[in-house]
Structure 1
Amino acid sequence: MYIPAHFNESRPEQLHKLIAQHPLGILVANGKNGLSANHLPFMLHPKEGPQGVLHCHVARNNPVWQDLENGDEVMVVFRAGDAYISPQWFPSKLETHKQVPSWNYIVAHAYGRVTIRDDERYVRGAVARLTRIHEASQPVPWKMTDGPKDYIDAMLKAIVGIEIEITRLIGKTKLSQNKEPRDREAAATALNHQGDSFIGNAMQAALAETLATLLPK
């Protein structure tokens, strides 16, 4: 991924936060049968390994787990959000006409070594933890014991676990940091006005961070 310096996000805690809040990642692999991409919900254990470990599972019928060997390198792409940026939003465009359309987004790429975990204990534990995380906000959280034992056992046999030890973690936070503050503020306001508040709020937070660095110490 091309990352100009002003869009670089290298803080591990911020990248871990992005993954935790937006856990549906794209597992990109180049296995025995070539390139593949699978959209999967991941769990990040940030304190496992030097940079964290990702856990997920796939359907047993999904060929990806047989296409990979333990130790193969894979990449997982996580996207927090994105939005189109119109040049019409920039006050400087009205003065110079030197602005063009662009696209803002926040992403993280996790590179790592894969381990296939085709064992019932691992899969059961991973599914139970994933369920607890995502059911926590429900009025009556679903749990694995809600289903008949033979049914749950059959469902678990139909999936295979995948563990990825992260070896490199990079991020790109493209929020118009290369523009003037007034242009950044105006674009953020326009996004919020049209309902793209995730990127709009992120732009305002990034602008506030930039302005804080300019204050006298």
Structure 2
Amino acid sequence: MYLPKHFKQTDIEEIKGLVACFPLATCVANMGDGFEVNHFPMIWRDDQLIGHIAFANPMHKTLQNGCKAVFVFNAGDTYVSPNWYPTKAQHHQHVPTWNYQVVHMHGELFFKHGEKDKIAAVGLLTQLHEKRVNGDKAWKMRDAPRDYIKTKIEGIVGIEFHIKRLEAKSKLSQNREKIGYTAVMDKMEEMQLMGLSQSMKKLRD
């Protein structure tokens, strides 16, 4: 990833927050003569990502255990217009650009076929997202009939990704003068792009 120093994100808590808020990852794995590309939500635990795929998804058959892969988490993004800069009327020396936050994780991908591993993956993902969506009324696996859950578990494959290298980029107008940065940040809030707005406020402070 092209990563200018002023856009490099090094705050690990900010990076974890991005992955937690935007858990749907793009997984890219090299197959030799091409690439296997898939999309699924993951949860970050220590130096691993945990998730699952449908058993019908052929990637657990076409890819070898321990194969090298990259997981990409795309956080908020938006077009940035030159019209947003207060100094545009003075010298017109502005062009359009794009602000965004993204996390890349390089590592090794493993497939888990054991029932305990699959139940653990579903349980972790369910617990996290149900709590966010439904709070105290969160759905739990035990709410469904045991035989039904067993059938569903048989229809998936657990995945475990061992993180070897991490890169994160927050392109948030850091290369602009203060008045331009503030104007873009305010526009993010006006457009209700709260993730980008909050990240810009953290950088400012």
Does the CA contact (< 8 Å) of 1:109 and 1:170 recur in 2?
A: yes
Secondary structure at the aligned position of 2:174 is classed as coil
Matches of 2:125 and 2:188, distance apart in 1: 33
Secondary structure at the aligned position of 1:132 is classed as helix
Secondary structure at the aligned position of 2:105 is classed as strand
Can you list the C-alpha shifts for 1:134-190, whole angstroms capped at 9, x where unaligned?
112414211111111111101000000111110000000000001101001011112
Matches of 1:44 and 1:120, distance apart in 2: 20
* 2:25 matched residue in structure 1: 25
Matches of 1:83 and 1:161, distance apart in 2: 34
Q: TM-score by structure 2 length?
A: 0.93
* 1:43 matched residue in structure 2: 43
Matches of 1:33 and 1:113, distance apart in 2: 19
* 1:187 matched residue in structure 2: 184
The number of residue pairs the alignment matches comes to 203
Does the CA contact (< 8 Å) of 1:86 and 1:102 recur in 2?
A: yes
* 1:168 matched residue in structure 2: 165
What is the RMSD of the two structures over their aligned residues, measured on CA atoms?
1.5
Q: Percent identity?
A: 38
Can you list the C-alpha shifts for 1:97-143, whole angstroms capped at 9, x where unaligned?
11001110011001111111111110011111211111124142111
**Deviation of the 1:13 alpha carbon:** 3.2
Secondary structure at the aligned position of 2:93 is classed as coil
* 2:198 matched residue in structure 1: 201
Q: Which runs of 4+ in 1 moved over 6 A?
A: none
Specify every segment of 5 or more residues in structure 2 that has no aligned partner in the other structure, as ranges.
Answer: none
Specify every segment of 5 or more residues in structure 1 that has no aligned partner in the other structure, as ranges.
Answer: 47-51, 209-217
- Which amino acid is 1:53 matched to? Q
2:67 pairs, out of 64, 72, 77, with 72
**Deviation of the 1:16 alpha carbon:** 2.3
Does the CA contact (< 8 Å) of 2:76 and 2:193 recur in 1?
A: no
- Which amino acid is 1:65 matched to? H
Matches of 2:63 and 2:97, distance apart in 1: 37
**Deviation of the 1:196 alpha carbon:** 2.5
- Which amino acid is 1:112 matched to? G
**Deviation of the 1:33 alpha carbon:** 6.6
